[in-house]
Chains A and B, each alone.
Chain A
Amino acid sequence: MRGIFWLLLIALLFCGAVVSAETFGVKKTAPKPDQYGNVVMNNLSDQNHIAPVVFNHWLHRALYTCRLCHVDLGFAMKAGGTGVKEADNVNGLYCGACHDNKLAFGPEKKNAFGNTEKYCDRCHSLGKKVTFVKDFFAFTKGFPPARFGNKVDWLLAEDKGLIKLTDQLPGITIPRKALKIPLDSELKGKEAGMPDIIFSHQKHAVWNGCELCHPDIFGVTKKSSVYSMQEIFEGRYCGACHGKVAFVNLDCQLCHTKAVF
């Protein structure tokens, strides 16, 4: 009798969990600070029986501007959208623009004894225990903290001179002119009582340039200027970066900054 009672109770709890999950959704687990922004690149790795690439955004964003990779080097804004092949890297495109043993480590190198050392695991690391040369926690020690994401306030880190982002690679990227940055703009919030957003073109354009956001993310149509938080949470508009790599959009007051009187 007691056994049946426990069985019924477990079945009831299981059904309750399933129903509430369908009703309220399943809570996503936030990635760890050193994993926030990581992208798994698996266009051809599985087919070629090699571990997929785990791209660590935190290290690259600490060294380079967003537009260097996403405009100049041709990386798409969506995972899997670029279709990088090993041959491309060897030809000096995409990852190979920097990972050539000169600017950054290449796929292989001859050691002092003339033997070839392969570094495949340093990128093709999914599911492997790889000890990286740069450790996230050691690298970001003493950086200004943030509440979510990498738990690093990258903007402040740059302001304080803790990171210095490279925007151009001579001989690889196109030489740029001094950027003309439009004025900041005010975006009206839809929720009553929610402070309006002061959108800083200055902060965004310095890292992204103009053509990273316009028109692919923010077009010219009416719909492009009226969007909801739900769409942002789904990865559109501001959500193309915020919530994936840039600060998490749960930090409401970082965008909704206009003083409410």
Chain B
Amino acid sequence: MSSPWKRWSSSLILVATWVAMMSAAALATGEWREELARICCQADVASELSSEELTRLVQESDTLLLQLEKIKPDEAKVAIFRLKKSRDFFQYLLQFRAAGAKENQPAD
């Protein structure tokens, strides 16, 4: 292969890699924002969700928290704060229901 062609192809590969990286980053950013919105908006209707649904939301929150902790803190710190608020509320509801169920158990 001639030298200019080599230079062209390597530049093309570099540009393609850069575009792919940028798109992946953009996609990742968009994805976590969507996932954050999906989880957090459930807090407003959480009292009507089943315990299974709440448990799943807690698990999903934990997974997303792990992802957010890998992003630059300056970008994600408010998202982490927001997600923890919702996650802790789902957990609170689960514990509240468990405590209520314990109280309502018939005495032996």
Spell out A's residues near B (CB within 8 Å): 71-74, 87-88, 91, 93-94, 174-180, 182, 209-212, 214-216, 219-220
Question: How distant is the Cα of A74 from the Cα of B84 in the complex, in angstroms?
Answer: 10
Q: Would you call A179 and B44 a contact (CB within 8 A)? A: yes
Q: Would you call A175 and B89 a contact (CB within 8 A)? A: no
Q: Would you call B78 and A176 a contact (CB within 8 A)? A: no
9 contacts across the A-B interface (CB closer than 8 A)? A74-B78, A74-B81, A87-B74, A88-B74, A177-B45, A180-B44, A180-B46, A215-B92, A215-B95
Tell me which residues across on chain A come within 8 A of B52, comparing CB atoms: none
Tell me which residues across on chain A come within 8 A of B48, comparing CB atoms: 180
Please, which residue of chain B has its CB at the minimum distance from the CB of A91? B74
Q: Would you call A215 and B40 a contact (CB within 8 A)? A: no
Tell me which residues across on chain A come within 8 A of B91, comparing CB atoms: 215
Tell me which residues across on chain A come within 8 A of B17, comparing CB atoms: none
Question: How distant is the Cα of A106 from the Cα of B16 in the complex, in angstroms?
Answer: 39
Other than the given A93-B78, A210-B89, 7 more pairs (CB < 8 A) read A73-B78, A174-B40, A177-B41, A178-B45, A180-B44, A214-B88, A216-B88
- With an 8 Å Cβ cutoff, the count of chain B residues facing the other chain is 27
Question: How distant is the Cα of A216 from the Cα of B48 in the complex, in angstroms?
Answer: 21
Interface-central residue, A72, A209, A210, by most chain B CB under 10 Å: A210
Tell me which residues across on chain B come within 8 A of A177, comparing CB atoms: 41-42, 44-45
Q: Would you call B47 and A182 a contact (CB within 8 A)? A: yes
Question: How distant is the Cα of A182 from the Cα of B47 in the complex, in angstroms?
Answer: 8
Q: Would you call A211 and B85 a contact (CB within 8 A)? A: yes
A180 to B: closest C-beta gap in Å: 5
Question: How distant is the Cα of A62 from the Cα of B40 in the complex, in angstroms?
Answer: 25
Fill in one digit per residue for B72-108: 1 if any A CB lies within 8 Å of its CB, else 0. 0011011001100110110111011001000000000
Please, which residue of chain B has its CB at the minimum distance from the CB of A92? B78
Tell me which residues across on chain B come within 8 A of A175, comparing CB atoms: 37, 41
